[in-house]
Amino acid sequence: MKIFKNKEEEENGSVVLKRYKRSSNGDISSHFIAEKHGSIRNIDEEEEDETVDYELDANGDMIRTHGMHWIITAFCVVGNQAGGGIVALPSAVIESQFYFGIILVAVMGFGLGFTGYCIGQCWVLLQRMYPEYRKHCRRPYAEIGYRAMGPIVKTIVSVFIWANLFGTAVVFLLLASKNIHDFMKAFFSDFDVSFCIIVLFVALFLLPITFLRSPEDFWWTVVASTIATCSAVGLIVYGTLRDYDTCEPHRTMPDFRINNYFLAFATLTFAYAGHSSFPTLQHDMKIPKEFSKANALGFAIVVAMYIPVCLVGYLSYGNSLRDSVINSIQTKWIQQTINVTITLHLILSLTIVFNPLNQEVEEYFETPHEFGIKRVIIRLSVMVAIVFLAELCNLLRQ
């Protein structure tokens, strides 16, 4: 993107920026005028009137007047990944003969962290080259695909992102509901509420938060999710070490099976899954180019949580470790406290899973950016669809 600036423009404090239309790569006649403080005003009356305050640094990168700090974004990266997979990770590592698995945890953390960095750099380039992406963008991941390879890839990316987020939302909703149901049965013997009702309760609890526009509006939920996950990790390590003297003498390792390695790889991939939300998080940052810092810190925290949990699980339980490390811990109150913290993580993380999904659907139906009845109807419909599939999965399981 070239910025044309002359003495006359310097005197009146405005800079003319070339504008590009999303439907084509060509330059069109209408222009944006960016004032010194960076407020964009669209001259074309046919376009939606939206003002975004920002400044450009020496490299042409955007600095918004408000937005998430990169440390907050790092917590969002952690909350978006860790938690759901952490309870199954120790079992997967042990099934792959531990040493291979623990190396894979570190290698995949570095590799997938690098892919997160690459995605962040792609979005920085788009915002630098195309001023329209400095406004609110509902599906930044798809726009990266569009600018890289055209409209067909944009559609493919949107479909994959939608499927990934929809499936993740269903799984998280079922896991959170199951944990709540099991917790109530463990402490209240006369508890007799259907699992289907619990699913509805969790969905209704989440619904008001899903009406918020973007992560910038509910960042506190993801930070709380990260705190809950860190608490769960601390309790898992404590509970597992507490069982060491009792369980270690009976520890064995599983026999070598090649399919266990593929299963471990699949579990690790799920444990690091979260990239579909990264561009959405980055777009809501005060300084989007600092996503590289947030990404590096986020993945470092995730790896720092995963390795100790896998290590103590191997030292204490070995092959006796069940699918979930929580079920192997012998102390009941520690078990249930971990269940509560993991459940909090799942419920709060659902907010960041729902948001890119909702924005994808809103973009398809050309819903206004402002809060209104259309947003309520669309996001309520998405929630109903997810609850329906969750209830259907539960019925099929029974």
pLDDT digits (tens, 9 = 90+) for 77-108: 998 888 667 888 888 888 888 888 899 999 99
Q: Under a CB-based contact definition with an 8 Å cutoff, are residues 250 and 320 in contact?
A: yes
Query: Of 81, 344, 348, which is closest to residue 206 (Cα–Cα)?
Result: 348
Q: What is the CATH number of the domain that holds 263?
A: 1.20.1740.10
Looking at residues 24-41, what average pLDDT do you find? 40
Q: Is residue 35 part of a domain?
A: yes
What pLDDT was estimated at residue 365? 85
Residues 82 and 43 in one domain: no
264 within some domain? yes
pLDDT tens profile 221-277: 888 888 999 999 999 999 999 998 888 888 877 777 888 888 888 888 888 888 888
Same domain, 242 and 360: yes
Among 158-162, 269-273, 340-344, the minimum mean pLDDT is found in: 269-273
Stronger pLDDT, 387 or 32, i.e. the higher one: 387
- Assign 358 to helix, strand or coil: helix
Quote the DSSP letter at residue 256: P
Least trusted range by pLDDT, from 8-17, 64-73, 128-137, 326-335? 8-17
Pair 108, 154 in one domain:
yes
Task: Give residue 28's pLDDT.
Answer: 35
> What is the chain's mean pLDDT, rounded?
81
Query: Would the pLDDT of 367 be above 60?
Result: yes
Question: Do 148 and 7 fall into the same domain?
Answer: no
Separation between Cα atoms, residue 19 and residue 28, nearest integer Å: 7
Q: Which residue has the higher pLDDT, 367 or 186?
A: 367
Per-residue pLDDT at 137: 83
Residue 286 has pLDDT above 80, yes or no: yes
Angle at 284 between CA 84 and CA 384, to 5 degrees: 50
Residue 344: is its pLDDT beyond 80?
yes
Q: Are residues 139 and 270 in the same domain?
A: yes
How confident is the model at residue 16, as a pLDDT? 38
User: Same domain, yes or no, for 236 and 351?
Assistant: yes
The span from the CA of 367 to the CA of 363, in Å, is: 6
Residue 98 has what pLDDT?
A: 84
**Same domain for 70 and 45?**
no
Contact 320, 251 (CB under 8 A): yes
Contact 231, 46 (CB under 8 A): no
Q: Is the pLDDT of residue 153 over 90?
A: yes
Beta bridge mates, 62: 56
Lowest mean pLDDT among 112-126, 164-178, 377-391: 164-178
pLDDT of residue 51: 53
Token pair for 119: 């995605």
- Among 33-47, 113-127, 247-261, name the one with the lowest average pLDDT: 33-47
> Does 304 score more than 90 pLDDT?
yes
Q: Which domain holds residue 204?
A: 66-397
Look at the chain and report how many structural domains it folds into. 2
In the predicted structure, residue 7 carries a pLDDT above the cut 50: no
Mean pLDDT of 327-350: 88
- Judge whether 377 lies within some domain: yes
| pLDDT given at position 35 | 39
Instruction: Verify that 8 and 101 share a domain, yes or no.
Output: no
Q: Considering only residues 3 and 220, tell me which one the structure prediction assigns the higher pLDDT.
A: 220
* Banded pLDDT at 21 (limits 50, 70, 90): very low
The token pair at 326 is 């929580």
The residue length of the chain stands at 398
Q: Which whole number is the average pLDDT over 168-172?
A: 88
Q: Is residue 60 part of a domain?
A: no
For residue 57, being part of any structural domain is answered with no
Together in a domain, 15 and 99: no
Residues 176 and 113 in one domain: yes
303 and 355 in a single domain? The answer is yes
User: Is 30 contained in some domain?
Assistant: yes
Contacts of 229 by beta carbon, 8 Å cutoff, 6+ apart: 78, 79, 82, 83, 86, 305, 341, 342, 345
Quick check: 20 pLDDT over 60?
no
Residues 134 and 249 in one domain: yes
